[in-house]
Amino acid sequence: MRRPAVLCAALAALAVAGSAAACGSGSGTGAGGSGGPPLSVSSPASGSPFRGAVFVRPHPRPSFVLTDQQGRRYDFAARTRGRPTLLFFGYTHCPDVCPTTMADVAAALRTLPAGLRDSVQVVFVTTDPKRDTPAALAKWLANFDPDLTTKFTGLTGPQAEIDAAQRGAGVELAQDGGLTHSAQLLLYGSDDLCRVFYLAGSRPEDIAHDLPLVANGTAR
């Protein structure tokens, strides 16, 4: 966002310890911040089967309706229910964390067996709806998924609806016109619960490792 990528990564590391979760934010608020209740986390070293950071208490797949890159209304809960889903809030003009996150997700998916890869839903919700029109989202996301069967979904809408989506997901509300936003990449499993998430600096192989666990329900 507005600060160097190295600072974003440092803030992301703090979030795993339960401190600041918003890339570019110096507020020091806990994970969840103004977007929802604090979400306690533990590190992968705590015995979790996941390589990402894990929530002490899993939280459910949120329900919100926004507009996708084709200009159609998209019911997140209904369209992704029962399917492994990666959800991220950001903006297309972001110089570092957002494109890196989407590129890492695409790289992770390319290493998976076709059946699993094609079942994974990737949803990017803009925090900058003034600039991120459906057409802008479509053009930007096409940089990451051209060879993937299941295309990434980009969502936009009125600011109030985007704020509601962030609250429903339990992430910190974006600030500074959407340029300071949550760094959490949330992973929902086939049971519609989010147990694990990733921050700036996470590796594609970590995401690829965890996707089969949540898709098959083998990790709780």
Q: Is the pLDDT of residue 86 over 90?
A: yes
Return the pLDDT at 11. Answer: 35
Q: What is the pLDDT of residue 201?
A: 84
Strand bridging mode 121-126 / 153-156: parallel
pLDDT at 220: 62
Average pLDDT of span 83-92? 98
* Global confidence as pTM: 0.82
* Cβ within 8 Å of residue 138, ≥6 positions away: 69, 70, 154
Task: Give the phi and the psi of residue 111 in degrees, each rounded to 5.
Answer: -90, -5
Question: What single DSSP character describes residue 3?
Answer: S
Domains along the chain?
5-216 (3.40.30.10)
pLDDT digits (tens, 9 = 90+) for 139-198: 999 999 999 999 999 999 999 999 999 999 999 999 999 999 999 999 999 999 999 999
Task: Check residue 219 and give its pLDDT.
Answer: 65
pLDDT at position 46 = 59
Sign of CA dihedral 204, 205, 208, 213: negative
Read off the pLDDT band of 116 (50, 70, 90): very high
Query: pLDDT tens for residues 2-59?
Result: 433 333 333 333 343 332 333 443 333 333 434 444 344 544 445 789 999 999 999 9
Sheet holding 73-75, edge to edge: 41-42, 53-60, 193-198, 185-188, 85-90, 121-126, 153-156, 65-68, 73-75
